[in-house]
Structure 1
Amino acid sequence: CTSRSWRTAVAGSNADADDGDEDGEFVPTRTRASRRARLSARRRESIRLLDVLDGGGGTDAGGIGEFLRHPAGVASLLNTRALQSFAPVESEPNSFRCTLHRIGFLGFQVAPVLDLRVTPTCTDCTVEMLSCRFEGSGLIEQQNELFSAFMRNHITWGDIGEEPCLDIDVNLEVALEVYTKPFSLLPLSAVEKPGNLLMQSLLDRLVPMLGEQLLRDYHSWVQQQPEASS
């Protein structure tokens, strides 16, 4: 298994064929039904585990599964060190509310809040985004009604030949209400195509960083195991 990656950007296909009237002119947004652009991106990454295993992580890739079922592994998956706050969601088993640090955006202070569910098993681990919203001023929070997002990170591992590997597969989908000019006057593809490229660029940066962080944290956890058992 050699280090490899795959990238896929999929343009949304919900643009109506009748984006204009019979004369081909666009109808103002206020007289039309709500229009929603659908964006999506995917990134897969395969990472060698052999170096970690040689450092004391066991004889096969199964040790990574034990790590991801451990609280330290969950914290690494959710990158809790980069969060403002992190707490279990009482109404959803194995789910966590992750609040990012506030950021400045167009003169407003915005705090993204994600509810994530972590489902580890003996053969894989899945992280799903249950909800995503923004906290801030009333104007900022009104934007929560205008978009929805879905994210799924599926992690598997196994021995392929003599090189155990960790495979990360992240899918991200976002639906946006298109209601402001000039975007409301354009075909949905004019929003979806650049939006897909932007999301793909985001995943292309973040997924390899996630893999590297997991390996570092796994290596640290492995090194602590002999001390814990002695």
Structure 2
Amino acid sequence: MDIGIGNGWRVASSSEGHFPGFINSSSIPRKRIQMGNAQKTRLIPVSSSKKANLSASKKQRIKLPIPLEDDVNEGKKLAFGEFLNHPSGMEAVLNVNALQSYHSLGDNTYRCRLPKIQLLSFEAAPVVDLRVTPMNQTCTVELLSCKLEGSEILNSQSDSFSAVMINHMTWGIGDPDPFLEVDVKLDLTLEISTMPFTMLPVSAVELPGNLVMQTLIDSLVPLLLQQLMKDYEEWVHQQQQLLQSSS
């Protein structure tokens, strides 16, 4: 008869003939991982934590109802690129109306604080760092970091997940109409450390998780395009008024 006491040891009855009554648990088979010299081995604990990989993506193209500008030197060009390089366009890409606050970190990088959300009995404020890279006929929005701010418990949960998001926007003179295309990809790695999910296979978390994320992306991308077009049309109207007042 033996009684487990932790720390890799167990108490043995005197009938087993061991002194002083302890049996080293090294007699229990363990996986050995080779480290350096072939004559030396080292036991490395293997983490039992599981990680779920979730992903969602959506590509959507819409007609771009924008005026074509006549330029003597460059011919005709789309004004949408100029809009994105304007502060109004940058705010439209970040969708600042949906943010609690934001500020520039320099180099086209912005820290955005989203409105607080309720998680069980806790309130959390998601904070994301986004880098916006506008070019001639493309604009890329990249998620650099994401964390939860709130209670100490929620702050610690920020280390339990990682996210990668890229929103690649392109525009041009299509056939037959000008277009704007948005291609959003979101990948999330989530550590499974809460009962009863730790007792389930990873697929039991990934399958519904992917469904929720895809549903979220499918609803957010059209809203983003709608708001972007609204902000752009307002900007075009303001530019036309400025030209009329200066002429």
TM-score by length of 2: 0.75
Indicate the structure whose relative CO is greater, using CA pairs within 8 Å and at least 6 residues apart: 1
- Indicate yes or no: 2:188 matched with 1:162: no
Aligned to 2:232: 218
- Indicate yes or no: 2:213 matched with 1:199: yes
Match of 1:66 among 68, 76, 82: 82
Match of 1:78 among 94, 97, 105: 94
Greater percentage in helix: 1
- Indicate yes or no: 2:198 matched with 1:184: yes
Q: Is the 8 A contact 1:126 1:154 kept in 2?
A: yes
Match of 1:33 among 45, 48, 65: 48
Residues in 2 aligned to 1:127 and 1:134: alpha-carbon distance in whole angstroms: 20
Q: Is the 8 A contact 2:68 2:78 kept in 1?
A: no
Residues in 1 aligned to 2:47 and 2:140: alpha-carbon distance in whole angstroms: 39
The Cα of 1:200 is off from its aligned counterpart by 0.2
* CA shift digits 1:89-130 (9 cap, x unpaired): 14xx11000001222221111100010000000120000000
The Cα of 1:144 is off from its aligned counterpart by 0.5
Aligned to 2:63: 48
Aligned to 2:73: none
Residues in 2 aligned to 1:108 and 1:228: alpha-carbon distance in whole angstroms: 48
State the AA in 2 paired with 1:115: D
Residues in 2 aligned to 1:72 and 1:147: alpha-carbon distance in whole angstroms: 33
**Which stretches of structure 1, 4 residues or more, deviate above 6 A after TM superposition?**
none
- Indicate yes or no: 2:146 matched with 1:129: no
State the AA in 2 paired with 1:169: D
State the AA in 1 paired with 2:78: G
Residues in 1 aligned to 2:195 and 2:122: alpha-carbon distance in whole angstroms: 21
Give the gaps of 5 or more residues in structure 2: 1-45, 71-75
Residues in 2 aligned to 1:146 and 1:63: alpha-carbon distance in whole angstroms: 43
Same amino acid, percent of matched pairs: 48
Secondary structure of the residue that 1:89 maps to in structure 2? strand
Q: Is the 8 A contact 2:125 2:149 kept in 1?
A: yes
Give the gaps of 5 or more residues in structure 1: 1-30
Question: Larger C-alpha radius of gyration, 1 or 2?
Answer: 2
